[in-house]
Amino acid sequence: MQARIIRMEFAGLTNQEMAKLFQITIPTLKSLRYDALRRLREYFKANL
């Protein structure tokens, strides 16, 4: 789900739109997005 959230964010969807699609609250969405971005940062730090 985290990868889908990041893709949708890049596509221009708002937090409200994504929360409705996934049937989750906005704070949960923000938490999932934060975790996904943290993982991406860790991945790129280790592999660049």
CA distances (Å), 48 to each of 39, 43, 44, in order? Answer: 14, 9, 6
CA distances (Å), 25 to each of 4, 31, 40, 43, 46, in order? Answer: 16, 10, 23, 27, 32
Give the ranges where 1-48 is alpha helix by DSSP (H): 2-11, 15-22, 26-47
- pLDDT in the model for residue 33: 95
- 1-48 pLDDT tens trace: 899 999 999 999 999 999 999 999 999 999 999 999 999 999 999 987
- pLDDT in the model for residue 47: 87
> What pTM, to 2 d.p., does this model score?
0.83
- pLDDT in the model for residue 48: 79
Would you say 1 and 22 are in contact if contact means Cβ atoms under 8 Å apart? yes
- pLDDT in the model for residue 1: 87
